[in-house]
Amino acid sequence: MKATLKILWPALVIAGGVILNAGAGVVTLDECVSTALKASPDVRAASARLEAARAAVTEATSAYYPQIGLAGNWVRTDNPPQAFFMSLNQRQASLQKDFNHPGDTENVRSSVTAQWRLYDGGRREADRSVSSLGSLAADYTLASVRNDLAYQVTRAFYGILEARDFAKVREHSLKSLTETLRVASERQRAGSALKSDVLNTEVALSQVKEDLIRALNGVELAVAALNTAVGHDMLTLADVASLPADLPFLGSTNVIPATVETRPEWGAVDAQVRQAEAGAARARREFRPTVSAFGSLDWDRESFSAGPERSYLAGVAVELNVFDGFRTRAGVARAAAGVVAARAEADKLRRALQLDLLQARLNEREARERLDAAGKTLASAEESLRITRERYRQGAADLNDLMMAEVGWTSVQARHTAAHYDCLMARANVKRAGGESRGADATSPRQE
């Protein structure tokens, strides 16, 4: 046992020194969140979907503008009707020609065409509304991804601090038991303590060293978890000591609204409901007629070297779908069912978000109460350990009393550390549940 401890002790001192007493530059929580919002693949994907949705708005708006095109072709034929009409376009038709055997005839045509929808029963406006609401939903979805990511990074950052403080608790306990072992050994040599006291202390010391090893491993895992959440190797073990020794609470939870309207998830689903309603309105407008103006300007010539003859065509077209096998009617029914489904999904999400906010508030209250209770107990545990250790030195207390005081202080200190960071994480979670995580407002959805 003693040989094993002698081998482990230098390794523990080195590892603990790297994590607890060394450090490179200071890395802040805001820097971690900012890096995550740039490096996260989820944010990049949501941003790309938002750009696609905004492009769809531009695509829908294009229907308000006239469509203009250019065309050109070269044709050679001996087909009598086609050859005759090509001669007409070239202003070269003659009744003296043999219409049945025109010979090879060529035509070179250049055209400018234009078409403009004058009236479509509101289809274009409905299409633009659908695409605009889709863009708004994508905007809120991106804000939701950022809100959740900011919370996950905050939680991972606090996890590192918590793991580091747990390691410090184990290190403090290790130093305390090492001193106890020294006192017990001196008392044994003086004949005022049993050898079993020394052996029991060595066993307890070995257990604390194992706990410290697990705590140090927990710090490494916490660093890996943060780097995973950030999407970038933001921290190393050497950076842990430079992190803040403590963090203030994130403010009173009373500032968080009691409703879920501030959640970007709700904004997204609300936009999707309105998008479904606009889609239903678009389907009903299929029953209305359309009016379009069209025209073309053409140049025809016998060959590329000949002079062109110009002609034009202009007109207005009115179209009305009289019967399409009930396709339009079925489309209206499908869109109406989509509205009902979207509203049902919105009601379901509202209840889920309300429950999420309520759970976040209750967890925060529980963590706060646990922190208050542990804080009051911690001072008593520290004083009890001090008194018991002094009595043991004087021979007025046995080893079991000292061990119980050591275990009691370690337990209370660990509970206080856990409650402290649980409170920080719980308050960060309340902000997430209210749509107010750090960095979540970097994308502010536009109101359509």
**CA–CA separation, 227 and 427 (whole Å):** 22
Q: In what order do the strands lie in the sheet with 105-119?
A: 67-77, 105-119, 290-301, 309-319
Q: Among 8, 19, 21, which residue's Cα sits nearest to residue 174?
A: 8
Q: Is the pLDDT of residue 427 over 50?
A: yes
- The predicted model scores a pTM of 0.79
Q: How far is CA 114 from CA 59, 60, 71, in A?
A: 18, 19, 11
Please give the mean pLDDT across all residues of the chain.
Answer: 84
Other Cβ atoms within 10 Å of 336 Cβ, number: 16
Give the CATH H-level superfamily of domain 2-65+122-284+326-442. Answer: Outer membrane efflux proteins (OEP) (1.20.1600.10)
Position 95 scores a pLDDT of: 73
Other Cβ atoms within 10 Å of 178 Cβ, number: 14
* pLDDT bucket at 270, cuts 50 / 70 / 90: very high
User: Is 5 buried (19+), middle (13-18) or exposed (0-12) by CB count in 10 A?
Assistant: middle
Q: Is the pLDDT of residue 305 over 70?
A: yes
Q: How many helices (H) and strands (E) does the chain have?
A: 10, 4
Position 359 scores a pLDDT of: 93
Position 247 scores a pLDDT of: 57
* pLDDT bucket at 411, cuts 50 / 70 / 90: confident
- Mean of the pLDDT values across residues 320-331? 92
Q: Among 138, 140, 135, which residue's Cα sits nearest to residue 57?
A: 135
Q: Are the C-beta atoms of residues 238 and 24 closer than 8 Å to each other?
A: yes
Q: How far is CA 50 from CA 43, 161, 274, 437, 441, in A?
A: 10, 35, 17, 21, 16
Percent of the chain with pLDDT over 70: 88
Q: What does the pLDDT look like over 148-200, one tens digit per residue?
A: 999 999 999 999 999 999 899 889 888 888 887 888 888 788 777 678 878 88
* pLDDT bucket at 8, cuts 50 / 70 / 90: very low
Position 3 scores a pLDDT of: 41
* pLDDT bucket at 445, cuts 50 / 70 / 90: low
Residues forming beta bridges with residue 108, ordered by sequence position: 74, 301
Position 441 scores a pLDDT of: 43
- Mean of the pLDDT values across residues 290-308? 90
Task: List CB contacts of 210: < 8 A, sequence separation 6 or more.
Answer: none
Q: What does the pLDDT look like over 199-234, one tens digit per residue?
A: 888 888 888 899 889 999 999 999 999 998 888 888
The residue among 256 and 63 whose pLDDT is bigger is: 63
Q: Among 244, 215, 242, 239, which residue's Cα sits nearest to residue 227?
A: 239
* pLDDT bucket at 97, cuts 50 / 70 / 90: confident
* pLDDT bucket at 12, cuts 50 / 70 / 90: very low
* pLDDT bucket at 251, cuts 50 / 70 / 90: very low
Q: How far is CA 427 from CA 30, 165, 416, 439, in A?
A: 16, 19, 16, 15
Write down the domain spans for the chain. 2-65+122-284+326-442
